[in-house]
Structure 1
Amino acid sequence: MDLFLIFLLFFLLLSDTGATSDTAALSLFRSETDLHGTLLPNWTTTTTACTADWAGVNCTNNRVTTLSLPFFNLRGPIDALSSLDQLRFVDLRGNRLNGTLTPISQCLNLKLMYLSGNDFSGEIPLGFSSLHRLLRLDLSNNNLQGPIPSNLSKLSRLLTLYLQNNEISGTIPDLLDSLPHLKELNLSNNELYGMVPKTLSSKFGDASFYGNEGLCGSKPFPPCSYTGSRPAPPQTVLSNPTSLPSSSSTTIEESSSRHHKGLRNGAVVAIVVANSVLLLVIASFAVAYYCGKYSRDSNSLTGTREGGKRRNGNSGEKRVYANAGGGDSDGTNATDKSRLVFFDRKKQFELEDLLRASAEMLGKGSLGTVYKAVLDDGCVVAVKRLKDANPCARKEFEQYMDVIGKIRHPNIVRFRAYYYAREEKLLVYDYLPNGSLHSLLHENRGPGRIPLDWTTRISLILGAARGLARIHEEYAASRIPHGNVKSSNILLDKNGVSCISDFGLSLLLNPVHAIARLGGYRAPEQAEIKKLSQKSDVYSFGVLLLEVLTGKVPSQHSSPNRARVKEEETSGDLPKWVQSVVRDEWTAEVFDPELLRYKNIEEELVSMLHVAMACVVPQPEKRPTMAEAVKMIEEIRVEQSPLGEEYDESRTSLSPSLPTTEDALA
């Protein structure tokens, strides 16, 4: 009995020591990643992390086993986590953490590791091979370099390996034989080269390897002539068009080149002389003809009917048109005009590829028309044509594009590239295949409609809030707003994650014109100030939240489906209508009847209504910031962790639906 008591006392002493050590480690982590102390306010040192119920921290036997802080905007290294020797689950997706991954490789009990969407650099640590219990490893969307360590073959329990969108180089080790349980693999958009192992391509598909220019093998990859050395990297186009290499020839130029190549020298000389004689005679006619042709072509897409190919597939395909000839009065030369300007090295293509792409018109907005373009290699992108949106000069346009092109967040639609000419401007985005929040809320109302459930609505609104908050934070100093917040600009990616679109296009317009043509759900002060602001974004978000809660279309922005909504439901603007109903103590009448069928959500509905009403107060200074709005929503409904109480290694559902649009083109 005495021996048992001694053992128990020893165990409790060890447990208490471990809890103190874990608390110290997390406190150090906070000091290095939450510099202003505002992101993790309840992480205090008065008690241990386990007894104080710190945000994102779960414990077992008074030891930290879970650290889940996705999208908290943490910045800094993760060195302090190396001493969390009982850590099983770490989810730090979508932050701005940096440094190397070596510290986390010392957490030998890890089973689930989600570190995507950060700024980690260096190589994948060799020490990862010691994480024998690891089931899921997601290091995608970072800046990792170097090879894929061959000793990852020791991770015999691994189910998921995501390494896409890094700068990983070298050849692909044949992992299949040594990783028999591997079910998900993505190595796309790196700098890998050499042969794609047949065992891997046959099991995981070619999409897992796209975006690695040096790979070869069976189709769709080129035949292998790999000799063991790294191939020369292809020319890439970054965001400075003035320093670009000359573009590849157009189809017309290639045809002309092949024709002349087959002629003898005498014939070529004769043609040149004849052309010289005729040049002065026909010059004026040629100029008039081509100018007129350009003017006609720049007003429509080549081979495109105005109605376009609708989602029901009743009409034919179209092609996106962009002029690539001549020079413009703003200094745009022929080489510049034939170039797409990309913001990163991943998933690039030539303008010629875009010209050949079949295109489907998705809709028309206040600044232009949006098309879904399918390239020859199967890549799908969204192209917004700004043709008449803005007459600004090339330099000014490029400055605006650089501003909006640098932001990266899982809840913001990725801006990939742009094309500039005086009479033609194209913006290229990720294509998100699941439509908009507007269509989910308002289309097909009536008998037979599948309602949009509450959990889905709150998840979509939280994603939109996080994306908008990131925009406001990124551009806090310059106070750049989104400027066009509305449900039709909240798009869903292939995993059903909401992403906010159209950020930054307000920069292309005069402030007065921006309010008239954009404005989203307009704040009251905009009638006098005639200026977009981040506070007006908050108001627009509040109206968006009311739209989600009520199921009603805000009156200021009617839609084709407006006729389906009862007139009395949309008389006046939505915030005033909600205020009048709540004032008369008919709060239940505010909510969408589709939501009232769900049980036990009344408290959440009312709490979310309070958030919306705080955002739409008439006085801008009294509105919360978007970061505060995000926090309020998270307190109402915290997203469920992908990890349950039990660590069931046989489950394949532990991998969360990754909130990223990076693989939307695959």
Structure 2
Amino acid sequence: MDVHFLSLLLLSISLFTLSHSTTTTTTTNDTAALFLFRSQIDPHGTLLSNWTTSTNRTTACTANWVGVKCNNNRVTALSLPSLNLRGPIDSISSLDQLRLLDLHDNRFNGSFTPISKCLNLKFIYLSSNDFSGEIPPELSSLRRLLRLDLSDNNLRGAIPTQFSKLSRLLTLHLQDNELSGTIPKSLGSLPQLKNLNLSNNQLYGMVPQSLISRYGENSFSGNEGLCGSSPLPQCSYTGTSPAFAQTVTSNPSSFPSSTVHEPNKNHKRLSSGSIVAIVVVNSVILLVITSFVIAYYCRKYSGNAKSMAGSEGSTRRSSYSGEKRVYANGGGGGDNNETNVTDKNRLVFFDRKNQFELEDLLRASAEMLGKGSLGSVYKAVLDDGFVVAVKRLKDANPCSRKEFEQYMDVIGKLKHPNIVRFRAYYYAKEEKLLVYDYLPNGSLHYLLHGNRGPGRIPLDWTTRISLILGAARGLAKIHEEYEAMRVPHGNVKSSNILLDKNGVACISDFGLSLLLNPVHAVARLGGYKAPEQAEIKKLSQKSDVYSFGVLLLEVLSGRVPSQYPSPAPHSVEEDDEEWTMDLPKWVRSVVRDEWTAEVFDEELLRYKNIEEELMSMLHLALACVVPKPENRPKMGEVVKMIEEIRMEESPLGDDYDESRNSLSPSLATTDDGLA
């Protein structure tokens, strides 16, 4: 009996030792894989500076490496967005317990075929990188995959039909690539797919009505070869690529002819002399036609420039009153000593995709969206349907072209999911245009204050805290990127927090403070001003924090800053000119008198079990608006505190509510659901 017991004990110890050894080995392998990954994407160790080990027993999990999360001492999440990392991702293929991979908004390149070996992956966010080649069919082996975002890369080829095997997929984003071919019918059979975006590619063929109804027309826009039910053009698709058989629309003349004619085999061959004569005659005719075309367009452009000088252009019908063609002077009026005619009339882009000419912008239909202290903003729809927002600067900058371009370079290099993308600019002495992505879902200001009356849809707490977190992340990125230069945003307010087509909050108007001298910037920019600016007459990152604190109070109270200091709530439509106390002072007075509940928007009080979150956010807001700048937290700290406070189900759970898909992918970094 004793011998039997001893044998069992030895067996148990052996199994435990083997298990511990295996766990130690796999953990060491995870660390080694990440070490190799860092050596390829950050060889100088400046971006991932804490990816080090102090002893032989230290691992990626025990050392709390930035962007690395673990479960049971195995790496389960790797989140490194917006760090300007570059290189291949092959070395992470051995992280077989990885659930989340978030590398969006970097400069990773090569192929992502290796990650198909990470069979436990649930969330892949690789948008806004430099990946190229075809989408590997091997990704279909990731049977646990819930969300896949490969948008804004350089991907070519067809969408793999093998994606039909991803039966748990909720989101598939492939927009802004160079994908071609037809849309696989198998995408319509994915039972859980809630969000599909294939826009801005080179896809062709018929789109089934079921897909349009299920995902909306915007999911397929920017693919000229697609057709189907309204609003797409009607088509009769032959099944071959557009190079040989063009999709035929209800208006065939809108597409080039693509019929392939078989030569008549009974025709005789032409003699060599005939062929030479035909070539010579055709060359002469082509030369004459080219000369006429060049002369015609030179005269036409010269006439247009003269006729448009000093003019706003023709007025178009619009839902916005006073809408006009935006761009005066036809791009002329530049500094003659600074540039030649070619440079004067070109747009300078910061992105290789979706570029267009100044003439395309001049021809675009325009709609005024609003006026500000630095100029007007227009929605411009180009002939190909591409939509941009154009800010026409007014008396904003007396500086030379060289200085202006330096400022634009500072703004243009910044890319972040929570900052409105600055695409291009145009400079002339009398005309300056800034071109941005057009964000279609309005502003946080409108969501909070618009239609405060019958029929209004309340802005719920989960949405509010998600939007404020997105705005905080965008502002923190600006402060982090330009900490050494001490460049602030300078104009933080709810009307500058815009929502993209997915409902993600993006902060706009960054960099405009650079175009003014400090005194004029404080006076003209309409953000929520910090008290010290009355004396210092200078914008700063600390004053940005104060403005963000006021923004947070605005979200919590539902009240417009500087309009609601009275002890009782007022309607937005009421005249509040008699009240002069600003929102932070009013909130402090209410809290001091222990009437804290009156701070919060009545629309929020209907929700249960959020009192603790509301109070925590209120304390954070009050910390941001303290009078002394040195006592305010940094925006990076504000982001961390909001992340700790926010009340929402983790987007990593299998039961993730698709109604919350407006949240930024970078929110998917918690431990919940990684198992």
Using the size of structure 2 for normalisation, the TM-score is 0.72
C-alpha contact 1:390 1:509 (8 A) present in aligned 2? yes
In the alignment, the residues of structure 2 paired with residue 640 and residue 250 of structure 1 have an alpha-carbon distance, to the nearest angstrom, of 63
1: CA distance, partners of 2:575 / 2:507: 25
Q: Greater CA deviation, 633-642 or 405-414? A: 633-642
Asked whether the 8 Å contact 1:359–1:371 carries over to 2, the reply is yes
Alignment of structure 1 residues 635-650 onto 2, 5 Å:
635-637=644-646, 640-645=649-654
Once the 2 structures are TM-superposed, how far is the Cα of residue 336 of structure 1 from its aligned partner?
3.0
Query: Partners of 1:58 and 1:18 in 2: how far apart?
Result: 13
The answer to whether the 8 A contact 1:116-1:138 is kept is yes
Cα distance change of structure 1 residues 581 and 16 upon mapping to structure 2, 3 Å threshold:
farther
1:137 aligns with 2:148: yes
Select 2:22's aligned residue among 7, 14, 17. Answer: 17
- Aligned counterparts of 1:413 and 1:335: Cα–Cα separation in 2: 29
Aligned-pair distance for 1:360?
A: 1.9
Give the direction of change, closer, same or farther, for the CA distance of 1:473–1:319 in structure 2 (3 Å limit): same
Is structure 2 residue 329 aligned with structure 1 residue 328?
Answer: no
Q: Runs of 5+ in structure 1 lacking a partner?
A: 228-248, 259-285, 661-666
Bigger mean CA offset, 358-367 vs 385-394: 385-394
- CA 1:74 to 1:369, structure 2 compared with 1: closer, same or farther past 3 Å? closer
Matched, 1:488 2:495: yes
Out of 605, 625, 645, the position equivalent to 1:596 is 605
Map 1:469-508 to 2 at 5 A.
469-508=476-515
- Could you tell me how far apart the structure 1 residues matched to 2:572 and 2:168 are? 50
TM-aligned CA deviation for residue 351 of structure 1: 2.2
Tell me the secondary structure at the aligned position of residue 434 of structure 1. coil
- Percent sequence identity is 61
Query: Which AA in structure 2 matches 1:319?
Result: R
What is the match of residue 275 of structure 1?
none
User: 1:445 aligns to what SS in structure 2?
Assistant: coil
* Aligned residue number for residue 625 of structure 1: 634
Letter in 1 for 2:603: E
Aligned to 2:125: 114
CA positional deviation for 1:470: 0.9
User: Helix, strand or coil: the match of 2:402?
Assistant: helix
The alpha-carbon deviation at position 503 of structure 1 amounts to 0.4
Equivalent residue, structure 2, for 1:387: 394
Q: Distance in 2 between matches of 1:292 and 1:100?
A: 52
Per-residue CA distance 1:94-151 (angstroms, 9 max, x = gap): 5676675354232133344222245656775575464455454322234x45655868
Which of 315, 333, 336 aligns to 1:303? It is 315
User: Secondary structure of the residue that 1:481 maps to in structure 2?
Assistant: coil
Q: Output the TM-score relative to the length of structure 1.
A: 0.73
User: How much does 1:530 deviate?
Assistant: 1.7
Pair 56,653 (structure 1): closer, same or farther in 2 beyond 3 Å: farther
CA distance in 2, matches of 1:8, 1:653: 47
CA contact (8 A) 2:30 2:60 kept: no
State whether structure 2 residue 382 is matched by structure 1 residue 375: yes
Whether the 8 Å CA contact 2:564–2:583 is kept in 1: the answer is no
Pair 1:362 & 2:372 matched? no
CA distance in structure 2 between the partners assigned to 1:254 and 1:453 by the alignment: 56
Q: Structure 2: 5+ residue runs without aligned partners?
A: 226-240, 261-291, 666-675
By how many angstroms is 1:222 displaced?
Answer: 4.3
Cα deviation, 1:293-325, whole Å, max 9, x if unaligned, reads: 834x2xx454279xx743xxxx58632233226
Question: Quick one: structure 1 residues 178 and 630, their matched pair in 2 at CA, closer, same or farther if it must change by over 3 Å?
Answer: closer
Q: Give the match for residue 611 of structure 1.
A: 620
Q: 1:67 matched to which residue of 2?
A: 77
Task: Give CA-to-partner distance per residue, 1:41-92, whole Å, 9 cap, x none.
Answer: 9x99879959999987475xx4858527475859466556323323344444
Task: Select between 148-157 and 504-513 the one with higher mean Cα deviation.
Answer: 148-157
User: What is the CA–CA distance in structure 2 between the aligned matches of 1:36 and 1:409, rounded to whole Å?
Assistant: 16
Per-residue deviation, 1:469: 0.8
**SS across alignment from 1:371:** strand
Deviation at 1:462, TM superposition (A): 0.3
Match of 1:294 in 2: 309
Task: Report the Cα offset of residue 404 of structure 1.
Answer: 0.7
Residues in 1 aligned to 2:316 and 2:522: alpha-carbon distance in whole angstroms: 31
Tell whether the 8 Å contact from 2:553 to 2:584 is kept in structure 1 after alignment: yes
Aligned 1:518-529 pairs, distance under 5 A: 518=525, 520-529=527-536
Instruction: Label 1:137 to 1:401 Cα distance change in 2 as closer, same or farther (>3 A).
Output: same
Question: Deviations for 1:11-30, whole angstroms, at most 9, x for unmatched residues?
Answer: 99548834762476268648
Distance 1:51 1:531, change over 3 A: closer
1:226 & 1:344 partners in 2: Cα distance? 36
Alignment of 1:543-582 (within 5 A): 543-555=550-562, 564=574, 571-582=580-591
Change (3 A) 1:421 1:369: same
Deviation track 1:230-255 (CA, whole Å, cap 9, x = no partner) reads: xxxxxxxxxxxxxxxxxxx9999649
Q: 1:547 to 1:376 in 2, by over 3 A?
A: same
SS at match of 2:643: helix
Q: Note the C-alpha offset of 1:600.
A: 1.0
Q: What is residue 279 of structure 1 aligned with on the other side? A: none
Rounded Cα–Cα distance in structure 1 between residues aligned with 2:507 and 2:90: 33
Partner of 1:319: 325
**Equivalent residue letter for 1:552:** R
Instruction: Classify 1:179/1:552 alpha carbon distance in 2 versus 1 (closer, same or farther; 3 Å).
Output: closer
Tell me, yes or no, if structure 1 residue 342 matches structure 2 residue 349: yes
Distance in 1, Cα, partners of 2:619 & 2:32 = 33
For 1:87, the equivalent position in structure 2 comes to 98
Read off the aligned partner of 1:455 and give its amino acid letter: T
Deviation at 1:449, TM superposition (A): 3.1
1:583 deviation in Å? 2.5
Q: Would the aligned equivalents of 2:420 and 2:506 in 1 still touch at CA under 8 Å?
A: yes
Structure 1 position 453, deviation (Å): 1.5
The 5 Å alignment of 1:55-454 reads 57=69, 59=71, 62=72, 66-67=76-77, 69=79, 71=81, 73=83, 75=85, 78=89, 81-94=92-105, 101-118=112-129, 127-128=138-139, 130-131=141-142, 134=145, 136-142=147-153, 144=154, 147=157, 155=165, 157=167, 159=169, 161-166=172-177, 168=178, 171-172=180-181, 175-176=184-185, 180-181=189-190, 186-189=197-200, 196-198=204-206, 203=211, 208=220, 210=222, 217-218=247-248, 222-223=255-256, 254=297, 294-295=309-310, 297=311, 300=312, 302-303=314-315, 309-310=319-320, 318-324=324-330, 328-330=334-336, 331-454=338-461
- Once residues 553 and 293 of structure 2 are traced to their aligned partners in structure 1, the CA distance between those partners, rounded to angstroms, is 51
CA change 1:9–1:96 in 2 (3 A) is farther
**Bigger mean CA offset, 206-215 vs 13-22:** 206-215
Offset at 1:348?
Answer: 2.1
Q: Distance in 2 between matches of 1:411 and 1:38?
A: 25
1:596 partner amino acid: L
Distance 2:607 2:296 in 1: 63
Per the alignment, do residues 609 and 161 of structure 1 end up closer, same or farther by CA in structure 2, a change over 3 Å counting?
A: closer
Given that 1:15 and 1:63 are in contact with CA atoms closer than 8 Å, whether structure 2 keeps it comes out as no
Closer, same or farther: CA 577–457 of 1 in aligned 2, 3 Å: same
CA contact (8 A) 2:331 2:344 kept: yes
Question: How far apart in 2 are the matches of 1:447 and 1:178?
Answer: 41
With 526-535 and 455-464 compared, the bigger mean Cα shift is at 526-535
> Contact 1:304–1:318 (CA<8 Å) still a contact in 2?
yes
8 Å contact 2:61–2:68 — kept in the other structure?
no
Stretch deviating more after TM superposition (445-454 or 9-18): 9-18
How has the CA–CA distance of structure 1 residues 591 and 90 changed in structure 2, closer, same or farther, with 3 Å as cutoff? same
